[in-house]
Structure 1
Amino acid sequence: MSKKEQYVYIISDSVGETANKLIQAALAQFPDLEVDVSRYPFVRGEDTLISILEKAKEDNAMILHTLITNGLSSAANQFCKENNLYCFDLLNPVIEEIEKRTGAIPTKEAGALHQLNDNYFHRISAIEFAVKYDDGKDPKGFLEADIVLLGVSRTSKTPLSMFLANKNLKVANLPLVPEAHIPDQLWKVNPKKIVGLTNDPKILNSIRRERMIAYGLNPDTAYSDMKRIDDELAFAQNLYNKLDCLVINVSNRSIEETAAIILNTLQLNDMSYDN
């Protein structure tokens, strides 16, 4: 094993996504580190748990767990304590503090956040909406959407739509082309629901060239021409000014960062949860 390599075990009686997101966020601070992350979801029996922990002991692994089923979390914590393994129990300390402060009794139900409840079906409905009204396929969707995204080609409209749909938000998007007609429905939408996406010309040029190369085509076309890009961005900005909508420059921003700006600025609730 490389001296830089580290083992991490994620153990959950559900899908383990909460612990996985946490470790990935932490590992982002160590881009050169070799880390072996092993996930063990849906652990429901103590025998299974102990066998996983025995293997973790051999690897001297860090343990992150979201075990909530009665007995499993304490068994994991005790094993790690006795065997000098790092153990981070993500859920139980917070649950115990809530119980202490409020007197409410937790259900201790594994996978409670992934049940097929109303929240789940709202998310599926939002994803279907985003697919149906992607790339301006039907302008009628603008009037039903929680958010309408506008932007020239390669400003991350579609991936951002899908990301926001996973937050239970109905999103429609429209690609902006100077020669194309702006649908009448757009002018009927509350400007507070509209987000205009823009980008830096040089970055957009690079993205478009790479896209053409990926398709095996000549990268030097009108699609990647700087004058054309400047004209498209000017057209988009002029429209945003007329609409008086929120404008976000997506250059050097991740989808998550752009989504956070939208959610915070438009004061929309994030209804997405994972455990």
Structure 2
Amino acid sequence: MTAKPILHYYIISDSIGETAIKVARSVLSQFPNVKTQIHRYTFISTPEQLQEALDEAASQDGLIFMTVIDYQLALQAEHFCVKTGLICYDLMHPYILEVQRRTGIEPVARSGIQHELTDAYFRRVEAMEFCMRYDDGRDPESLAQADLILLGISRTGKTPLSMYLATMGYKVMNIPLVPESDIPQDLYKYGESKIIGLTNNPKVLEKHRRNRMIEFGMPEHSKYTSPERIQAELAFSNQIYKELDCPVLNVSDRSIEESASIIVDLLDLPVV
């Protein structure tokens, strides 16, 4: 049996290479059956260091994802790739040059600037702490401090979605909806301004709940996992969402990233 060829891809960066890695993995995730090998060349600061990375990439006919701020280094890579036929995706300079052209403002030309300890960084840390402190409906009297509030019955993804939104810098509180429990009355103050109701398809909820019971070493068939109970909880949550007049998001078949993006748009949240 013939072995599958390996696609070698190279991360070349003058910082930690996080941006290039994310783009590369997003692209390659579309080819789950392709065997890949990543090669990292980070904190590149001299022509010699860059040339070493380029020569190695050429030896493997590698695919290059590059984030280098220094224009001369970027030109060096471009000339080498044109000469050798290598494919190199410069993920920075085409956009830097276009922003400069449109605004007439010179770039600061500092690598890794997005990783500096800015106010935005500390806001993300604060948002993460807030999210953990108020997870699963803890201290609902602090609703006013939240940038947004997620509501949903069990297994609609409230906590992971809250955590992801927190990494974006938003203070998120999530509150579980249970027919036997009253919701905090202060929720009615906010409605569509900062509340999102989460829902999911009944079959998906049943599957998630059964898996959860198995994880806990408990019988997978119970009131919690029964279709009748799930339908009752969905009806209850839909009634609450109607009363609150809040946007509703069905998270079925959506990634956390996609759901987060939709929520930011629905509530017209500011970039933080």
Q: Please confirm whether the aligned pair reaches a TM-score higher than 0.5, indicating the same fold.
A: yes
Task: Kindly report which structure 2 residues correspond to 1:65-84, keeping only aligned pairs within 5 A, or say none.
Answer: 65-84=66-85
Q: Give the letter for the 1:11 counterpart.
A: I
Q: Distance in 1 between matches of 2:262 and 2:234?
A: 21
- Assess, with a 3 A threshold, how the Cα gap between structure 1 residues 270 and 38 changes in structure 2: closer, same or farther: farther
| Equivalent position of 1:22 in the other structure | 23
Q: Where in structure 2 are the equivalents of 1:69-218 lying within 5 Å?
A: 69-218=70-219
Contact 1:143/1:188, CA 8 A, preserved across alignment: no
Q: Deviations over 1:102-127 (max 9, x none)?
A: 32111110011111111111111111
Other-structure match for 1:251: 252
Give how far 1:25 is off.
2.4
2:47 and 2:85 mapped to 1: Cα distance?
A: 19
Q: RMSD of aligned C-alpha atoms?
A: 1.8
Identity %: 46
Distance 1:265 1:4 in 2: 44
Distance 2:37 2:199 in 1: 38
AA aligned opposite 1:183: P
Classify the secondary structure of the residue corresponding to 1:222: coil
AA aligned to 1:240 is Y
CA contact (8 A) 1:192 1:246 kept: no
SS at match of 1:253: coil
CA contact (8 A) 1:197 1:249 kept: yes
What is the match of residue 38 of structure 1?
A: 39
Structure scoring higher RCO (CA < 8 A, sep ≥ 6) equals 1
| C-alpha displacement of 1:255 | 1.0
Task: Describe the SS at the equivalent of 2:182.
Answer: coil
1:2 CA displacement: 4.2
- Say yes or no: does 1:56 pair with 2:57: yes
CA distance in 1, matches of 2:207, 2:231: 13
Q: Secondary structure at the match of 2:224?
A: helix
Cα distance in 1 for partners of 2:27, 2:92 equals 17
Deviation of the 1:190 alpha carbon: 4.2
Match of 1:5 in 2: 6
Rounded to whole Å, the distance in 2 between the matches of 1:216 and 1:38 is 41
Task: Tell me how far 1:133 sits from its aligned partner.
Answer: 1.1
- 2: CA distance, partners of 1:246 / 1:16: 37
Retained in 1: the 8 A contact 2:11–2:21?
Answer: yes
CA distance in 2, matches of 1:102, 1:248: 38
Summarize deviations over 1:70-128 as a string: whole Å, max 9, x none: 53222222332333211111111221222233321111100111111111111111111
1:240-261 CA-to-partner distances (Å, cap 9, x unmatched) read 1111101111111111121122
The aligned runs of 1:229-244 (5 Å cut-off) are 229-244=230-245
Q: Distance in 1 between matches of 2:16 and 2:179?
A: 46
Gapped regions of structure 2 (runs ≥ 5): none
Asked if the contact 2:4/2:35 (under 8 Å) is kept, the reply is no
The answer to whether the Cα contact below 8 Å between 1:14 and 1:43 also exists between their aligned partners in 2 is yes
Q: Give the C-alpha shift of residue 154 in structure 1.
A: 0.7
Cα distance in structure 2, aligned partners of 1:225 and 1:40: 52
Which amino acid in 2 is paired with 1:154? R
2:270 maps to: 269
In 2, the alpha carbon distance for the partners of 1:92 and 1:216 equals 53
TM-score normalised by length of structure 1: 0.92
Contact 1:142 1:189 survives alignment (8 Å): no
CA contact (8 A) 1:198 1:250 kept: yes
